Amino acid sequence: MTKQEAEALIPYARSENAVQYLTLIASGEENSIRGIARRLGKGRTTVQESINRVKQHAAKHGVDFKMGMRGESVPAGFQLDKSTVHIKDGEMIQRWDRVTQDKEDAQKAVMDAIESACAGLPQAPRIATPKSKPTGLLNLYTIADLHIGLYAWGRESGESYSTADARNVLWQCFSDMMDRMPDADDAIICNLGDWIHYDGLLSMTTASHNVLDTDSRYQKLAEVAVGVQSWMIEKALQKHKRVKVINAEGNHDEAGSAWLRVMMAHVYRDNPRVTVDNSPAPYYAHLHGQTMLAWHHGHKRKDKDLGGLFASDPAFREMWGQAKRTYIHTGHLHSQSVIELPGALVERHPTLAARSSYESRGGWQSHRAAKAICYDDKGNERMRVTVTPEVAP
């Protein structure tokens, strides 16, 4: 690799180590992988793989010196999808490029737009702090797979469901939870993912493009999604001194969960009693004394793998070490299960939504419910409440 090539690749490096390797070559201080590895005390394979990853990323933007590509054919905001090269007598005669929108740039643009739009949002009104004696308790209110916007035809699915039904079911069940749970200084409201049934103007899943049964316009879904969550937070503030809000990413609402997190963080930005987890990663955790609580929707990693993930991930490793017990919560499959792993208990939560056409035709059954669990700060579960649409007042 020449100095000029290394310098051209630096903007495509996505780690500090890769930038360091390429800078050494571009500056002329080192001219070989072996020399860089020896100088920095790294493995030669480690350095080579890091540089290879930069080359692969650069190639998506039309920069590949081996193929004579220097990025001039890829417009800003796009990445190279496919390149067809005509080579004759060892020389490139012609090249045809196909480009697609750069997903990373598009996602960053969306998040920047959301941040900008939310900056002017008014703050939520302050609610007087309830008077209570310290208990060391934390109440976790979990809503999994609410699917605001899902349409279910009662004659086909056994139970009808619409945007209005989703709102009413949540009002009833959350009120029932709050009334039946003990007083606690701390509360966590966890939307465990798939709060919204679809993720944009097209009624389909983002990744797989599965067509979905829906009953409403996207703006109406957004209004209901924001309205019911604000109501939940304000109701919780009347009972608890501190409220934390988690909006987990789901496979149905990858973008929806992002703007909901950003919006809630802005609305409650100056309220010291409300904390909004604004992490863009699909894994979340909270340490309450010696009790670690963790969440993942369940669409990226299986339940059996989550113990190792939370124990080893740098973002949660220290938390895991301080906890006496860890409780991990998932959703996604619309069914219930509990498995014990070394150091953790993983519980999958049911859905409050009725079956869609896809589920009813596939013969899948699910018991509709939501759970609130009380934990102390010594690593113990103290009590739980299970509510269902049928028994909620």
Lowest mean pLDDT among 79-88, 175-184, 225-234: 79-88
Quick one: 50 and 150 in the same domain?
no
Q: Which of 60, 85, 100 is the last residue of a domain?
A: 60
Lowest mean pLDDT among 72-76, 189-193, 367-371: 72-76
Strands 78-88 and 69-70: unpaired
- C-alpha distances in angstroms, 304 versus 67, 292, 298, 342, 348? 44, 17, 10, 10, 11
**33 and 170 together in one domain:** no
Same domain, 235 and 339: yes
- In this structure, the answer to whether residues 26 and 168 fall within a common structural domain is no
pLDDT score at 392: 41
Residue 45: band (very low, low, confident or very high) from pLDDT cuts 50, 70, 90: confident
> Closest Cα partner for 142 from 381, 303, 370, 337?
370
What CATH number is given to the structural domain containing 4? 1.10.10
Q: Looking at the structure, tell me whether residues 56 and 132 fall in a common domain.
A: no
Is residue 105 situated within a structural domain?
A: no
Domain that holds residue 264: 125-387
Q: Which of 7-11, 163-167, 220-224 has the lowest mean pLDDT?
A: 7-11
In a domain? residue 393: no
What CATH number corresponds to the domain at position 267? 3.60.21.10
**What count of Cα atoms within 13 Å lies in the side-chain half-sphere of residue 207?**
7
Q: What is the mean pLDDT of the chain?
A: 86
The string of pLDDT tens digits covering residues 311-370 is 999 999 999 999 999 999 999 999 999 999 999 999 999 999 999 888 888 888 888 999
Same domain, 52 and 168: no
Q: What's the structural domain count of the chain? A: 2
User: What per-residue string of b and e applies to 6-44 under the rule 16 or more CB within 10 Å gives b?
Assistant: bebbbebbeeeebbebbebbbeeebeebeebbeeeebee
Return the bridge partners of 385, or none: 372
Q: Of 10, 30, 60, which closes a domain?
A: 60
Q: Classify residue 199 by its DSSP letter.
A: S
**Residue where a domain stops, chosen among 30, 60, 90:** 60
Identify which of 181, 199, 185 has the alpha carbon closest to the alpha carbon of residue 371: 181
For the segment 43-66, the average pLDDT, to the nearest whole number, is 80
Which pLDDT score, from 0 to 100, does residue 73 have? 52
Query: Pick the residue with more confidence: 91 or 153?
Result: 153
Q: Position 220: which residue type? A: K
Q: Is 56 in the same domain as 133?
A: no
Q: Is the pTM of this model over 0.75?
A: no
What's the first-to-final CA gap in the chain, in angstroms? Answer: 71
Task: Assess whether 50 and 190 both reside in one domain.
Answer: no
Q: Is residue 89 part of a domain?
A: no
Query: Does residue 238 lie within any of the structural domains?
Result: yes
Whether 80 is in a domain gets the answer: no
Tell me, yes or no, whether 256 and 358 share the same domain: yes
Residue 233 belongs to a domain: yes
Q: Is residue 228 assigned to a domain?
A: yes
| Parallel, antiparallel or unpaired: strands 325-330 and 291-295 | parallel
188 and 292 together in one domain: yes
Asked whether residue 96 is domain-assigned, the answer is no
